[in-house]
Each structure stands twice: as C-alpha cells, then as structure tokens.
A and B are shown apart, each in its own frame.
Chain A
C-alpha cells in the first residue's frame, strides 16, 4: 500500500521568508513518481511538478525548488522569498507503476503568507 504524509497541516510566514513544505512517502514500488499540486483559495488544483524515482537531482523553477531524497523517502518543496500569492494548500502525491496513473495524495499543507 502507498502512503503520503504531509505532517505540517498549516504554516504561516511573513512575506519574503523562505518556507519548506515537507512530504514523506511510503511505497514498495522500485519505480514511482512524485508530484506536487497547488490549490489556491479559488479552489482549482494546479499541477506543479513530477519527478521519477530514478532522478534525485534537485529542481529549481524560479522561486520554487524541490529536494528529492530517496534515502529518507522525502520530496520537500521550498518557496524562496514567499509572496502573498503563494498562499494556498499544497498537496504532495505519489504514483506507482500501475495502469491508470492513479495518485495517492497527502492530506495537504495550508500555507498562509502574510504581508
């Protein structure tokens, strides 16, 4: 069985602070994929990134960066110099090698960035 844990249910920061959202996963698959989604207050779910289990290189996209560590089964997401527009619920998700590209989601972390 697969499981994704986002232990931080809510985080509050002041604008321009850096913030890291934690994601820990469990799977028996040797090949798997990890995802992050953003859900802003308007409610839609926005795909941010997909990484496969064989690629442990960190990825940076503007103010966003992702740190994948297989040794600790973690796929953490850092926002540098946070902005009010970053306020959202962020979900980490996991997909094994299965027919149907099914995802197992974590419970989400609500990030509040205050001006």
Chain B
C-alpha cells in the first residue's frame, strides 16, 4: 500500500470554525491532491500540488486553501467551515511520469453542523 496517512479520520465541527486536514506521504512523490467525495458527484478535485510551495486550484476550490511546505505534507484548510463542506475528503499522491496512477489515503469524514 502507498504510504499515505490522513488525519484526522473523522471530525465534527461547527459552522464558522476553521478546519485543517493533513495528508502525509512517505513515498517522496511529487504530486499531491485533495478531493471531496459527495453522493452522485464521484470525486472532485479541490486543489493539487506539483512541488513544495507549488499549488493550483481544482474544480471546486472556493472556500478552501492549501499549503505544502515539505514534500511529505499537504494541508487542506477550510478557513470558515460551512455545512456545504460536509463531505468525505481524500488525499492522493502520484509519481512523476505521464499519467501515473494516483494512490489514495483512507479519507477523512468531516461533518459541519
């Protein structure tokens, strides 16, 4: 299994609070991604990173920010959580090379009340 750890695995919080999810990899892969999974939508890309301090927006980036200060860590922050951000969040990593498959962490279930 790819060495990807997401923390926390579950979180319940209130609307308006800041939330940070962490993704840690031990594979030294260049690319890292954050997705959200909602019923009927499959997985949608929030942000991705192609190197330390290099990030870009995905399809559903509004309300989210990311940071990558080290190769192994990719943080996703909800500055002021809203109920619409209740979802399951997945981190993924991918090696360098044309269309290498992405490998996923176990997910974080986030509930915003």
Chain A interface (Cβ within 8 Å of chain B)? 4, 6, 9, 32-33, 35, 37, 43-45, 47, 50, 52, 91, 95, 97, 99-103, 105-108
Please tell me which one of the listed residues A9, A44, A47, A52 contacts residue B102 in the complex, with CB atoms under 8 A apart.
A47
Q: Are A44 and B104 also in contact (CB < 8 A) when A97-B98, A100-B31, A101-B99 are?
A: yes
A26 to chain B, nearest CB (A): 15
* 8 nearest A-B residue pairs (beta carbon): A105-B42, A33-B99, A45-B104, A101-B94, A107-B42, A105-B43, A95-B99, A47-B101
B contact residues, total (Cβ < 8 Å)? 25
B8 to chain A, nearest CB (A): 14
Q: Mark B94-106, 1 if CB is under 8 A from A, else 0.
A: 1000111111101
Please tell me which one of the listed residues B40, B43, B107 contacts residue A43 in the complex, with CB atoms under 8 A apart.
B107
Please tell me which one of the listed residues B40, B101, B107 contacts residue A35 in the complex, with CB atoms under 8 A apart.
B101
Alpha-carbon distance A66/B102, docked complex (angstroms) = 19
Closest to B97 in A: A101
Alpha-carbon distance A101/B88, docked complex (angstroms) = 22
B63 within 8 A of A: no
Q: Are A102 and B45 in contact (CB under 8 A)?
A: yes
Q: Which residues of A contact B70 (CB under 8 A)?
A: none
B95 to chain A, nearest CB (A): 8
Q: Mark B35-63, 1 if CB is under 8 A from A, else 0.
A: 00000111111001010000010100000
Closest to A99 in B: B50
Please tell me which one of the listed residues A6, A43, A105 contacts residue B44 in the complex, with CB atoms under 8 A apart.
A105
B33 within 8 A of A: yes
B74 within 8 A of A: no
Q: Are A50 and B98 in contact (CB under 8 A)?
A: no
Q: Are A102 and B58 in contact (CB under 8 A)?
A: yes
Q: Mark B69-113, 1 if CB is under 8 A from A, else 0.
A: 000000000000000000010101010001111111011000000
Closest to B107 in A: A43
A92 to chain B, nearest CB (A): 9
Q: Are B43 and A102 in contact (CB under 8 A)?
A: no
B61 to chain A, nearest CB (A): 13
